[in-house]
């Protein structure tokens, strides 16, 4: 199986690579459109800032490639947010794959960014196969995708938000499966087995 990780100067590429190795998969980190298009699975990781990330992928014309992928694609954290229409982070136009808007956390009395372990309430979605309702996953983010029709799991941090989404072959998780222990490994394994 060929797994490609989108290179766009995101901060968690090494930890995603290591998590995949624990599942017996060697992945390629690339911003080459042909390599991304030829992969069996594509992972769009992310720790970073929306505008600079979108600028990087637009300069290399991989925004069009990502939107046109037909194989399973997994966005993680910022990668998931970039699937949305737009982000309040520097008023950034995102990929527009999923009709959701990304907003800044402003929960009264709670620290931003949202950082640490939180319970996730999933709906019926294959990447959550074998994951119990209320399982804890690790989050680090100051922005969140509002809940909507593509939401397949929710979390609450002062306000309910999209913990995971799906639209056709595009899956996204706001939490970091590569840092979420056995439950996170199960998410990655479920994705790899789609």
Q: Which of 74, 79, 83 is nearest to 188 (CA)?
A: 74
**Predicted local confidence at residue 183, as pLDDT:** 97
Residue ranges covered by each domain of the chain? 3-192
Residue 137 DSSP class: E
156 three-class SS: strand
Residues sharing a CB contact under 8 Å with residue 10, sequence separation 6 or more, in sequence order: 45, 46, 47, 48, 53, 78, 79
pTM (two decimals): 0.96
- Is 125 considered catalytic here? no
Strands in 59-148 per DSSP E: 73-76, 84-87, 92-93, 98-104, 114-122, 135-141, 143-145
Q: Tell me the Ramachandran region of residue 48: left when phi exceeds 0, alpha when psi lies from -120 to 50, beta otherwise.
A: left
Residue 61 near residue 33, CB atoms below 8 Å? yes
Exposed/middle/buried for residue 71 (C-beta within 10 Å: 0-12, 13-18, 19+):
middle
Class of domain 3-192: alpha beta
Least confident of 9-18, 126-135, 140-149: 9-18
Active-site residue, from 77, 84, 94, 155: 77
Active-site residue, from 49, 93, 178, 182: 178
Average pLDDT of the segment spanning 103-122: 93
Q: What's the chain's average pLDDT? A: 95
Q: What's the pLDDT tens digit per position in 24-77?
A: 999 999 999 999 999 999 999 988 899 999 999 999 999 999 999 999 999 999
- Is 146 considered catalytic here? no
69 three-class SS: coil
Instruction: Tell me which H or E stretch contains 165.
Output: strand 160-167
**Predicted local confidence at residue 4, as pLDDT:** 97
Active-site residue, from 49, 84, 114, 176: 176
CA-CA distance, 126 to 176, in Å (whole number)? Answer: 17
Least confident of 77-81, 108-112, 171-175: 108-112
CA-CA distance, 96 to 59, in Å (whole number)? Answer: 17
Angle between helices 13-22 and 181-192 (to 10 degrees): 80
């Amino acid at each position: 199986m060929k797994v490609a990780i989108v290179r766009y100067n995101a901060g968690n590429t090494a930890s995603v690579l290591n998590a995949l190795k624990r599942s017996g998969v060697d992945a390629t980190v690339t911003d080459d459109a042909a390599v991304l298009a030829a992969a069996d699975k594509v992972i769009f990781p992310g720790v970073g800032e929306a505008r600079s990330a979108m600028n990087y992928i637009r300069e290399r014309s991989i925004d069009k490639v990502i939107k046109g992928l037909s194989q399973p694609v997994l966005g993680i954290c910022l990668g998931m947010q970039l699937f949305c229409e737009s982000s309040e982070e520097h008023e950034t136009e995102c990929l527009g794959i999923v009709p959701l808007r990304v907003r800044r956390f402003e929960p009264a009395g709670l620290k931003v960014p949202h950082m640490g372990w939180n319970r996730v309430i999933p709906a019926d979605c294959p990447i959550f196969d074998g994951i119990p309702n209320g399982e804890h996953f690790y989050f680090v983010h100051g922005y969140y995708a509002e809940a909507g029709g593509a939401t397949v799991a929710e979390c609450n941090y002062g306000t309910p938000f999209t913990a995971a989404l799906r639209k056709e072959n595009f899956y996204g998780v706001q939490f970091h499966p590569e840092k979420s222990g056995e439950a996170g490994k199960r998410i990655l394994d479920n994705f790899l087995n789609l």
